[in-house]
Chains A and B, each alone.
Chain A
Amino acid sequence: TQLLEQSPQFLSIQEGENLTVYCNSSSVFSSLQWYRQEPGEGPVLLVTVVTGGEVKKLKRLTFQFGDARKDSSLHITAAQPGDTGLYLCAGAPAFGNEKLTFGTGTRLTIIP
């Protein structure tokens, strides 16, 4: 069983500040996704990273895949109240026929 651990578990910051969320594993993944989930809704895919060392930007969000494809980070610049939500990373195993493994989640609250 592959585990993805996210940190921090909870984060509450003021509007306009920057933050970084981490997703770590001892396993190698062929790709890694980041999702955001709001209360009462299913997760919404934000980005997929595939290549070790890859960096993708989505407006104020920057996603990085670790060189060894075992970890990832999400950096948000100038956080806004609309960024509030549960951020989940999910990895597709590099080997075998297992399915997506989700991380434990980071609950982010941006205070206006």
Chain B
Amino acid sequence: ETGVTQSPTHLIKTRGQQVTLRCSSQSGHNTVSWYQQALGQGPQFIFQYYREEENGRGNFPPRFSGLQFPNYSSELNVNALELDDSALYLCASSLISERETQYFGPGTRLLVL
């Protein structure tokens, strides 16, 4: 059984740039959720995808967008990067029938300068 993987592991961008983060779900999982974890904080829910459609969204602006592909892998896109976007971005996969049981990837650490 393959766990959740994310790429890249680290990324440095400058203000105003755009970034794409990638996630491969755990085998058999049909739902993917993205979280932002600022330093010293708990993860904050960004959005969830199920069957390639957004299935819930947290309090994040539209410049945060995502995609889910037929193989259940996913992307998180952030446009017009701001300094406060610097954080660890976590992807978690689950089954839609067991939404509470989420398996997290190692995260992508994004630094915006």
Contact = CB atoms under 8 A, between A and B. Distances in A.
- Nearest 7 Cβ contacts at the A-B interface: A42-B104, A102-B42, A92-B100, A102-B43, A105-B42, A99-B45, A31-B100
For chain A, the bracket of interface size reads: 20 to 34
B45 A41 contact: no
B7 interface: no
Interface string A64-102: 000000000000000000000000101010000111111
B36 to A, nearest CB: 11
Interface of A: 1, 4, 6, 30-31, 33, 35, 40-45, 48, 88, 90, 92, 97-105, 107
Contacts, number: 59
Contact of B107 (A30, A41, A97): A41
